[in-house]
Structure 1
């Protein structure tokens, strides 16, 4: 299964502008009237990672290939089992989120 980053051909460190440029380039070469399914795949990938909040949500809550029962098992797993997202990566993701920016968006 391809990730949104792979579909758009960008790295996980890509900026909003780089992701948007890659999306527009992919849409240019895969218009909806040529291959609707491919266009939808590209569009969903862009919607998933188009901005910092979307990328953080994807990083924190996306579990590739995981069924609902597996997700429940993961959520309610014993504390001694290893998490799929290493603690240092989780902390890095959390530290990259601006609390003030998030609160400002919620207030407006």
Structure 2
């Protein structure tokens, strides 16, 4: 019995081997662009550029602050797969890509 309990505790405390990756489709200027957040690597890919990210507490639900070479923006999530980019007063809507 002890062995089962110890095995269960180890399984619970061991992090998952798969990465937390979120794929979105964002509409900018009438065109669709993929956006990928890799939470384990702390990166966000958008329009061919990879940004470093950190959690952003200013988002209503959850989100990240993306930064690279003096450029930065917020990527905030909402409910039911909706998210958005907020940069320089402009909002770009995004939807979680369904598998």
TM above 0.5: no
Q: TM-score, normalised by structure 1?
A: 0.21
Structure whose residues are more often strand by fraction: 2
Structure whose residues are more often helix by fraction: 1
Tell me which of the two structures has the higher relative contact order, counting C-alpha pairs closer than 8 angstroms and 6 or more residues apart: 1
Q: TM-score, normalised by structure 2?
A: 0.22
